[in-house]
């Protein structure tokens, strides 16, 4: 992985490919490369580091071509360097390939190819595939057939694009477990792993499904299965504006997306509240509401930040619907032989809708006949397409690797889902109206919190050199502690742990001293007094405490070193508010450390490999 772009048409492919790579930089990568065909010869350039390094080189070389492929790599096999960077190629550089995913059986294939005389330059799994294609091309002299036959030997995941100097009028693409789309133009066509790479050129998109391939020429595309059966594909019009994926004057995408949360939360609930009836309306669930309401159990599966949202959803759903809820990591779900029945509803949360572990878990649930519900941000994503039913969060494109607005939008949608189910159970119209009215007020309260940005930045200045952090919360705010710690780890590289506040004394309290800052999420809710007791335990051991507290709380300031006062709301919605100061705290600490908050090291926005 991580980013794929391709072009075939009448224009010079090089600037189009470079622009596409730039629009995929947010996904995280460590090297970049480009391959084009001009005058029946291949030109391949690869550079370690940023796309800008590659761009400077190719601009200076004056390369022009009408067909090409380009890639940003996030290392899986082999260290980040120019040799391991994509595109990979065969011995005479007649076939070039870019690949997202992991070839699981590359070792035996590599061994066999070496025994047949093939020489390998890189440490990657991908190079096996290009040599396999070369092997079949030598026999068949047909690029599509060579790629197809090579893929029949592959175990693992892939999104690939292949070009050859022997057939310079086409790009062969295929996908299995790693997203790939075709952008349709006039006398030109595009390919990419993410529609964001294409939006300045076309809004007409074709989504490839797992097990599908395509022959892409400048005038047409033809889709087939891996078994060589023709597939009719629908061209979908997407609605993303360029300004949605630009910084709009902010220094970083992350800060822009934090500041967009009042609007993204409004968008998540727009048209979904029927206040007179005290109920929510989620159009994506039409025809499935009764089955969800009658579920024996709800399973929520996700990874990372989405998993934290699922934990909050567990509190919401169990409190108001009475349905037992379990939350599982996508990466663990399918490997523990989970107990799933047709009476279960399984919910899969993923910002990108392409998270490999979550997608694999969804397919396992479908095999066991449970109802599958996708909660995604990206329209047309694989999880959205493969779920039985689902809900879009409508947060808008999220470019920063560390998720912010998608998290609060996920919580908003989970609150709406909770009200929808609960109103068919025991929740009264009056109580439903109360929750929904409070939900409608949340964007205004978020706006108020965002005005604390300067105050939070001053607190961040005091902790930019900290080596460790502890985040503590109880009830609904325990998942917020986990999320706050994750945000700090992701972008500042400071070790941080989230814990239930009461569990601190069962281990983490041993770490407390004057050098260990502790963040308490401490609104005035039903467990407030118990959290205060936990704060006193930390202070008695000379710990430094930052508290996220209710704005009317006059007691807590006397106990802690720093307070961030936020508006009150009902318990189930409090995580939307308490998470935002922690996003800002992590952001400002990372900026003050001089780090790249939008592209933190070793991380990718959409994790499409296991």
Catalytic residue (one of 46, 135, 445, 605): 605
C-alpha to C-alpha distance for 471 and 158, rounded to whole angstroms? 38
C-alpha to C-alpha distance for 439 and 443, rounded to whole angstroms? 8
Single pTM value for the model: 0.77
C-alpha to C-alpha distance for 277 and 259, rounded to whole angstroms? 32
pLDDT value of residue 605: 54
pLDDT value of residue 191: 94
pLDDT value of residue 28: 62
pLDDT value of residue 538: 82
What pLDDT, in 10s, does the model give residues 431-489? 999 999 999 999 999 999 999 999 999 999 999 999 999 999 999 999 999 999 999 99
Close Cβ partners of 327 (under 8 Å, ≥ 6 residues apart):
299, 300, 301, 302, 307, 310, 311, 313, 314
pLDDT value of residue 598: 84
Sign of CA dihedral 495, 498, 499, 501: positive
Token pair 């082999």 in the structure block, residue = 78
Sign of CA dihedral 193, 195, 196, 199: positive
Ranges in the chain, pLDDT < 70 = 1, 26-28, 74-80, 240-245, 602, 604-610
Sign of CA dihedral 382, 385, 388, 392: positive
- Kindly give the residue spans of alpha helices, DSSP state H, lying in 464-573: 478-492, 528-539
C-alpha to C-alpha distance for 133 and 144, rounded to whole angstroms? 9
C-alpha to C-alpha distance for 370 and 215, rounded to whole angstroms? 36
Catalytic residue (one of 2, 22, 47, 256): 2
All domains of the chain in start order, with CATH: 2-240 (3.60.20.10), 246-450 (3.40.50.10490), 452-600 (3.40.50.10490)
Q: Which of 609, 496, 481, 505 minimizes the C-alpha distance to 104?
A: 609
Q: Is 605 a catalytic residue?
A: yes
B/e letters for 390-426, b = 16+ CB within 10 Å, e = fewer, are bbbbbbbbbbbbbbbbbbbbbbbbbbbbbbbbbbeee
> CA angle, 530 as apex, 526 and 531 as ends, to 5°?
95
What pLDDT, in 10s, does the model give residues 200-254? 888 899 999 889 999 999 999 999 999 999 999 989 887 766 556 677 788 998 9
Name the 3-class secondary structure at 237.
strand
> CA angle, 408 as apex, 402 and 414 as ends, to 5°?
125
C-alpha to C-alpha distance for 317 and 349, rounded to whole angstroms? 15
pLDDT value of residue 475: 93
The secondary structure of 57-120, three-state, reads HHHHHCCCCCEEEEEEECCCCCCCCCCCCCCEECCCCCEEEEEECCECCHHHHHHHHHHCCCCC
pLDDT value of residue 78: 61
Expressed in angstroms, the distance from the first to the final Cα of the chain is 11
């Amino acid at each position: 992985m991580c980013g794929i772009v391709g072009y075939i048409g009448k224009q010079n492919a090089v600037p189009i490919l470079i622009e596409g790579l730039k629009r995929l930089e947010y996904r995280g990568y460590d090297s970049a490369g480009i391959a084009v065909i001009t005058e029946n010869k291949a030109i391949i350039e690869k550079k370690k580091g940023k796309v800008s390094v590659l761009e400077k080189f190719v601009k200076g070389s004056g390369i022009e071509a009408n067909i090409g492929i380009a890639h940003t790599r996030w290392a899986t096999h082999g260290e980040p360097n120019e040799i391991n960077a994509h595109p990979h190629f065969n011995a005479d550089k007649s076939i070039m390939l870019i690949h997202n995913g992991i070839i699981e059986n590359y070792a035996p294939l590599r061994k066999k190819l070496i025994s047949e005389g093939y020489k390998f330059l890189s440490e990657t799994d991908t190079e096996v595939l290009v040599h396999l294609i070369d092997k079949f091309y030598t026999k068949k002299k047909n690029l599509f057939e060579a790629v197809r036959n090579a893929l029949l030997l592959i175990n693992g995941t892939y999104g690939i694009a292949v070009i050859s100097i022997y057939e310079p009028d086409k790009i062969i693409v295929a996908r299995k477990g790693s997203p790939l789309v075709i952008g349709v133009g006039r006398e030109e066509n595009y390919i990419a792993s993410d529609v964001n790479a294409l939006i300045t050129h076309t809004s007409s998109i074709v989504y490839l499904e797992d097990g599908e391939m395509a022959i892409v020429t400048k005038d047409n595309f033809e889709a087939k299965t891996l078994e060589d059966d023709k597939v009719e594909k629908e061209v979908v019009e997407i609605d993303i504006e360029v300004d949605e994926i630009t910084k709009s004057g902010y220094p970083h995408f992350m800060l822009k997306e934090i500041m967009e949360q009042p609007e993204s939360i409004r968008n998540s609930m727009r048209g979904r509240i029927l206040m007179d009836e005290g109920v929510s309306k989620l159009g994506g669930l039409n025809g499935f509401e009764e089955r969800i309401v009658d579920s024996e159990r709800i399973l929520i599966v996700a990874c990372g930040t989405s998993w934290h949202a699922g934990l909050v959803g567990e509190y919401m759903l169990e409190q108001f619907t009475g349905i037992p809820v379990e939350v599982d990591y996508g990466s663990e779900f399918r490997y523990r032989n989970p107990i799933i029945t047709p009476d279960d509803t399984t919910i899969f949360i993923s910002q990108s809708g392409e998270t490999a572990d979550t997608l694999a878990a969804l397919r396992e649930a479908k095999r066991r006949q449970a109802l599958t519900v996708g909660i995604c941000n990206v329209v047309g994503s694989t999880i959205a397409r493969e779920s039985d039913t689902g809900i879009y969060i409508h947060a808008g494109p999220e470019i920063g690797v560390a998720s912010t607005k998608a998290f609060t939008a996920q919580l908003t949608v989970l609150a709406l889902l909770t009200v929808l189910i609960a109103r068919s159970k025991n929740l009264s119209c009056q109580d439903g109206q109360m929750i929904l009215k409070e939900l409608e007020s949340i964007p205004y309260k978020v706006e108020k919190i965002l005005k604390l940005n300067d105050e939070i930045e001053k607190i961040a200045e005091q902790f930019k050199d900290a080596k460790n952090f502890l985040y503590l919360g109880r009830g609904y705010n325990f998942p917020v502690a986990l999320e706050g710690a994750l945000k700090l780890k992701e972008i500042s590289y400071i070790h941080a742990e989230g814990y239930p506040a009461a569990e601190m004394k069962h281990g983490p309290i041993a770490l407390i001293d004057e050098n260990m800052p502790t963040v308490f999420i401490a609104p005035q809710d039903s467990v407030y007094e118990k959290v205060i007791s936990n704060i006193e335990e930390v202070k008695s051991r000379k710990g430094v405490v930052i508290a996220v507290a209710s704005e009317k709380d006059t007691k807590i300031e006397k106990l802690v070193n720093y307070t961030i006062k936020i508006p009150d709301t009902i318990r189930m919605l409090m995580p939307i508010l308490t998470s935002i100061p922690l996003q800002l705290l992590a952001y400002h600490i990372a900026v003050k450390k001089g780090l790249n908050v939008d592209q933190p090291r070793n991380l990718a926005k959409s994790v499409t490999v296991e």
